[in-house]
Amino acid sequence: ELGALKVMVSSDDKVEITSGEELGISSGGRRELVTARVGAPEHWSCQLLPQGWTAQPVDADTLEVLKEICQVHNREALGQGRDAQRYRRTYRNLEVHCAWRIEDLDLWMRFEVERRVVHRQIASLTASGLPQFHNSRIADPAARLPGLPTPGVRETWFLHGSKPDLVLSILNGGLNDRVASSSGAFGAGIYLAEDIEKADQYAQPDAGFEAPGMEEL
């Protein structure tokens, strides 16, 4: 359900959202109030920045679940595969050190609309008999993450690996199959995986990371 939120823009352009029915915008000593209704997941911090999204460190419980999801089960598969990126050295394991949750109200509301459309389509096709739905292998541990998949929409959890130079565009606009490379095994599209070993094939070290020697992370 869409809920009312109060948005306050401070002098440093940071946006704070709290429960309420007014959208408050302050700029140069001038304060304006307008009514707005926006929806956000309950576990979000509801802090927005001018670019429209914010990165929030996940809590300790969420981090532990992500570590479980990203456990390597087949070390021989690391660095292997058609699209595997080559590192300067071999490695035998992957470990999650930290994680952030990306909060973008605009993308979330767009997702909510699309989810309602899918729900309606699935409901209309149920009578004709839909193929059996299979959850991904990471669905069980992912069930302990905040924000459960919506019943009736056939949502589940997957992983995605990408290059460092593509991260900012993904943060700003989400995953977009319209600008995906056509060189994939099945053509242009958004490729997702159940195994961290597979997602790792598409990740690369961030050569621009600020601390020397940390690019391997």
pLDDT digits (tens, 9 = 90+) for 124-163: 888 777 777 788 889 999 999 998 888 788 888 999 998 8
Contacts 24+ apart (CB under 8 A), 201-206: 201/79, 201/80, 201/81, 201/83, 201/84, 201/85, 201/161, 202/83, 202/85, 202/160, 202/161, 202/162, 202/163, 203/85, 203/161, 203/162, 203/163, 204/85, 204/163, 204/164, 205/87, 205/164, 206/164
Higher pLDDT, 60 or 42: 60
Task: Select the highest-mean-pLDDT range: 32-36, 107-111, 172-176, 187-191.
Answer: 107-111
The answer on pLDDT for 11 being more than 60 is no
Mean pLDDT of 3-8: 47
The answer on pLDDT for 120 being more than 60 is yes
The answer on pLDDT for 96 being more than 50 is yes
Per-residue pLDDT, 61 = 96
At 28, is the pLDDT very low, low, confident or very high (cuts 50, 70, 90)? very low
Whether the predicted model's global pTM rises above the 0.85 cut: no
Higher pLDDT, 4 or 43: 43
Per-residue pLDDT, 159 = 94
